[in-house]
Structure 1
Amino acid sequence: MDPPQAPRFKILMFPWLAHGHISPYLGLSKRLLATKNFHIYVCSTAINITSIQSFIQSNNLGDSMEAVELKLEPSVHLPPHYHTTKNLPSHLFCELLKAFPTAKSSFSDIITAVNPDLIVFDSFQPWAAKLAASRGIPAVHFFVAGAATQSFDLHHYCCPSDGGFQFQELSMNGYEKNSFDELTKLLNNDICKQGEVIYNVCHDLSSEVVLLKTSWSFEGKYINYVSSACNKKVLPTGPLVVTDSFSSSGDDNSDILQWLSKKDHHSTVYISFGSEYFLSGEEVEAIAKGLELCEVNFIWVLRFPLGEETKTIEETLPLGFLERVKERGIVTGWAPQAKILQHPGIGAFLSHCGWSSIMESMYFGVPIIGMPMKVIMVVDTNMLVGCGVCLRIPRKDNEGYKGEDIAMAMSDVIFGESGERLRCRAEELSEKMRMEEVEETEVVANQLWKICLKNRP
């Protein structure tokens, strides 16, 4: 920590309105405060403020960290409880994306009130960096996903004439590529001007550096590629794994951990698809069938979207499923993910390969069974396979996953030789990530401090 006479710089953190984005911004804030004499403000909508304040209180950061409310313009289609992606119906995502810039006036007022020395902004609001520039305030882009996806995007959409892509392990098949193109075009059109690419715009607006939620040992070659392609210094923040729960649930589900403690080492599969993806009926049936076809122990987190709280796990699962698997499985609506992944009883993580889940799994040395549900996650799944820490479940173009394939993948990782190989590689990466994370945080903190110091009169 800097001496008392050192200046105290104010940082305004502005993540996108999603748990998977807010959580890394909170994790980075906590680490910065342990390194430098910053005062940090985290800006989000009212529906997210409670969780942010809970994080601040549970980590005793009240003297150096505050939540600031951002207001979107009123809308009949998007009432305040939908000013977040958590529990947001999928058909309203684009509505939220389009409504987000209506917060410009509110954000401008926040800048006036806070008068920050630096703004750290997310990918969905390049307008925030432009607003900061108009006030003479430096802004740094913090991208909360990894470098592999950016490498893929930058090559295919910004540098297609550079010849063959050097990271063939990231390549998609034709169907996946077409779906990825459609999604990228949608996001670019809603956020940027015609013909612009989000990453290029945000990187260009970023002061001196770009931050990525990743680590050198995990994605070093992709970090270097992104830095070269965007001509900007790229700094990994480390995995930013937050072991303190960011859930509104006060239940630690210790009964799950007690149950897990009775299982053999590496005998259990943890199954979860993040806080913002909800399985369809067909997907639930496929996973249930896979679990019945193999003999693995499992903990399955099965969530329901807002408006379907009256649904029960029992009526969602195939008839008699819970009775048939009661000795070797638990199905629950919430579980302490970080604590479960640290447990020696866990042998694999069946995941949609969202970036936060990937970081947690790698940090705790748990191999992944990849079941990407959205095309945006396919590149990262392919990267994990290339890295030697993931077995991807096969899926035919425009078809759902099959129970037989899910069963085969789980059996292979838990009982087969490939499982041991994947676990050894995951444990090796975990050790490297943990060794690097303190230094990575210090490098980021020092760089942000220099930017603040340079711009203070």
Structure 2
Amino acid sequence: MAIFKVLMFPWLAHGHVFPFLELAKALSNTNIFHIYFCSTSINLESIRNNLNQHSSSSSSSSSSDHHLSIELIELHLPPHPHLPTLPHHQEHTPTLMPTLMHAFQLSASTFSDIITRLKPDLLIYDGFQPWSAKLASSQGIPAVYFALTGSIAFSFFHHLFTHKSSDSFPYPAICLHEYEKRDLIAEEASIKVQDVDEGFAFGVFELSCDIVLIKSCCMGVERKYIDYLSTLCKRRIVPVGPLVQENAVDHETDSWIMNWLSKKSKSSTLYISFGSENYFSKDQIQEIAKGLELSKVNFIWVVRSPVGSDHINVEEALPEGFVDRVRERGVLVQEWAPQAAILASPAVAGFMSHCGWSSITESVYFGVPVVAVPLKLDQPVNSRLVVEAGFGVEVVRDEEGKFDGEGVGRAIDEVMLGESGERLRKRVRELSEKIKVEEEDRFCVVVEELSRICTKKSTCS
């Protein structure tokens, strides 16, 4: 069978690199595609460790060597005085976003040389570098956009972009509150400062050939949004599934967390994480802590310093005495946590989340209902979906977007306890089962579509 060469090129952040890597693994495992995976040396080190770990965990499988068809290609960013030599997903990445974006754009000529040298049959690109699709096109190489934001948010914001209003969006449960609209305007202004390419945002759809790949959850929930997005962008939307890495635990910190969790009873523990690039004020951190004290549930909280306070000790941001009062039923994690492994634990019955799309897909995949605390960008829209689809609740906020400890505690109890908790868990487990039934057939379509595009390119060359 012919081997097609596919160059995969994600944005630099952890939340982009690893969904691309999971897709790379799945494609290479078909023995149809040879994958070139392009990123910076810092990211490639993590990717190499991930592939080695995957090889070790699957050594008894007939597919244990499939990582050998993933070839890592280093992208050299131009020197910049404000660009640190540490992973691009570290806590202060948000303050470096303009610098990273600028350096990334300046690497276009280097990437052009990579395309010329590798001569791939296909480029799969991310939304932050529309210029890469243009470079591929200039060399006669088709490009496919891989969208990591969900179809719900993309269809909503594409409608807003097209019609200059969300009032006529055909699914009214998906909406923004007034304070979220104000925040969105500020976020858009920031992005415009960072980006100088007219292909950014929805132009990336137009640069994709006749399909767009999208990270998806459950078709029963998403189908209408996928269909509407396809109408808006005039491309066939091909869902690739959740791309969840059911990773092994191999770090000392991870092992300690999982050991603590293994001693908790079934459906007794809340997992709390708001992603690596989201920050609360000190006041809001204290309200979350207050809600946890009121709820009395066990918890694992991946907690970060308050916004604008990178160097403050996390405990200083928490209510006085909080750590001692919850010591028997809660743990605070200030580094990376094995999210997939935690969500897969029978002890976990809820996930308090910022509602980033990857977190939502993982939550549904593992059958864990959501306590939604969205912050920015697509997160509020994803949170509305959580409520509409019946697998979570959203923490109530005031007109300024602030929440209090009592509201946090009520939302936790609704997800974790009583009949409401049982109802939510039953619903999300139903969705989880559907995802796993759909997974194989859905990926077959992805393989067929990419093979078609590569074949067409080969016959036209």
- Per the normalisation by structure 2, the TM-score is 0.90
Indicate conservation of the 8 Å contact 1:217/1:433, yes or no.
no
What is the alpha-carbon distance in structure 2 between the residues aligned to residue 261 and residue 209 of structure 1?
Answer: 44
CA gap of 1:308–1:41, structure 2 versus 1, over 3 A, is: farther
What is the alpha-carbon distance in structure 1 between the residues aligned to residue 229 and residue 193 of structure 2?
Answer: 22
What is the alpha-carbon distance in structure 2 between the residues aligned to residue 30 and residue 417 of structure 1?
Answer: 40
Query: Aligned residue for 1:297?
Result: 298
Query: Aligned residue for 2:343?
Result: 341
What is the alpha-carbon distance in structure 2 between the residues aligned to residue 185 and residue 424 of structure 1?
Answer: 41
Deviation, 1:242, is 0.8
Match for residue 16 of structure 2 among 13, 21, 44: 21
Indicate conservation of the 8 Å contact 1:88/1:306, yes or no.
no
Is 1:35 aligned to residue 36 of structure 2?
Answer: no
Deviation, 1:80, is 4.4
Indicate conservation of the 8 Å contact 1:151/1:226, yes or no.
yes
> Residues 220-245 of structure 1, C-alpha deviation per residue, up to 9 Å, x if partnerless?
11111101111110000000001126
Indicate conservation of the 8 Å contact 1:12/1:42, yes or no.
yes
Indicate conservation of the 8 Å contact 2:129/2:200, yes or no.
no
- For 1:42-81, list aligned pairs within 5 A: 42-60=37-55, 61-81=66-86
CA gap of 1:88–1:67, structure 2 versus 1, over 3 A, is: farther
Deviation, 1:164, is 1.9
Query: Aligned residue for 2:428?
Result: 426
Deviation, 1:189, is 6.0
Query: Aligned residue for 1:157?
Result: 161
Between the aligned residues of both structures, percent identity stands at 43
Is 1:213 aligned to residue 235 of structure 2?
Answer: no
CA gap of 1:137–1:197, structure 2 versus 1, over 3 A, is: closer
SS in structure 2 of the partner of residue 401 of structure 1: coil
Deviation, 1:190, is 4.0
What is the alpha-carbon distance in structure 2 between the residues aligned to residue 160 and residue 308 of structure 1?
Answer: 36
Deviation, 1:442, is 1.4
CA gap of 1:189–1:306, structure 2 versus 1, over 3 A, is: closer
CA gap of 1:193–1:20, structure 2 versus 1, over 3 A, is: closer
Q: Which runs of 4+ in 1 moved over 6 A?
A: 305-310
Amino acid at match of 1:212: I
Deviation, 1:345, is 1.5
Deviation, 1:138, is 0.5
- Of the structure 1 ranges 30-39 and 309-318, higher mean CA displacement relative to structure 2 is found in 309-318
Indicate conservation of the 8 Å contact 1:268/1:346, yes or no.
yes
- For 1:342-357, list aligned pairs within 5 A: 342-357=344-359
- For 1:237-252, list aligned pairs within 5 A: 237-244=240-247, 250-251=251-252
| Superposition RMSD in Å | 2.5
Deviation, 1:304, is 5.1
Query: Aligned residue for 2:112?
Result: 108
Indicate conservation of the 8 Å contact 1:372/1:381, yes or no.
yes
- Of the structure 1 ranges 329-338 and 108-117, higher mean CA displacement relative to structure 2 is found in 329-338
Deviation, 1:321, is 1.5
Q: Which runs of 5+ in 1 are unaligned?
A: 1-5
Deviation, 1:197, is 6.3
Indicate conservation of the 8 Å contact 2:285/2:306, yes or no.
no
Query: Aligned residue for 1:380?
Result: 382
Indicate conservation of the 8 Å contact 1:212/1:237, yes or no.
yes
Indicate conservation of the 8 Å contact 2:270/2:349, yes or no.
yes
Indicate conservation of the 8 Å contact 1:139/1:207, yes or no.
yes
- Of the structure 1 ranges 145-154 and 49-58, higher mean CA displacement relative to structure 2 is found in 49-58
> Residues 20-53 of structure 1, C-alpha deviation per residue, up to 9 Å, x if partnerless?
1111100111111122421111111222111111
Match for residue 406 of structure 1 among 405, 408, 411: 408
CA gap of 1:102–1:414, structure 2 versus 1, over 3 A, is: same
CA gap of 1:309–1:91, structure 2 versus 1, over 3 A, is: closer
Deviation, 1:292, is 1.2
> Residues 350-397 of structure 1, C-alpha deviation per residue, up to 9 Å, x if partnerless?
011111111110000100000112243111111111111120001224
- Of the structure 1 ranges 134-143 and 25-34, higher mean CA displacement relative to structure 2 is found in 25-34
Match for residue 227 of structure 1 among 209, 230, 243: 230
What is the alpha-carbon distance in structure 1 between the residues aligned to residue 428 and residue 329 of structure 2?
Answer: 25
Match for residue 123 of structure 1 among 106, 123, 127: 127
Deviation, 1:338, is 1.3
CA gap of 1:251–1:162, structure 2 versus 1, over 3 A, is: closer
Deviation, 1:163, is 7.4
CA gap of 1:164–1:49, structure 2 versus 1, over 3 A, is: same
Indicate conservation of the 8 Å contact 1:238/1:440, yes or no.
yes
What is the alpha-carbon distance in structure 1 between the residues aligned to residue 212 and residue 349 of structure 2?
Answer: 35
What is the alpha-carbon distance in structure 1 between the residues aligned to residue 206 and residue 302 of structure 2?
Answer: 40
Query: Aligned residue for 1:271?
Result: 272
Deviation, 1:173, is 1.7
What is the alpha-carbon distance in structure 1 between the residues aligned to residue 363 and residue 90 of structure 2?
Answer: 22
Q: Which runs of 5+ in 2 are unaligned?
A: 56-65
> Residues 226-266 of structure 1, C-alpha deviation per residue, up to 9 Å, x if partnerless?
01111110000000001126x9x722633433333333322
What is the alpha-carbon distance in structure 1 between the residues aligned to residue 12 and residue 307 of structure 2?
Answer: 16
Amino acid at match of 2:299: F
Indicate conservation of the 8 Å contact 1:157/1:197, yes or no.
no
Amino acid at match of 2:78: E
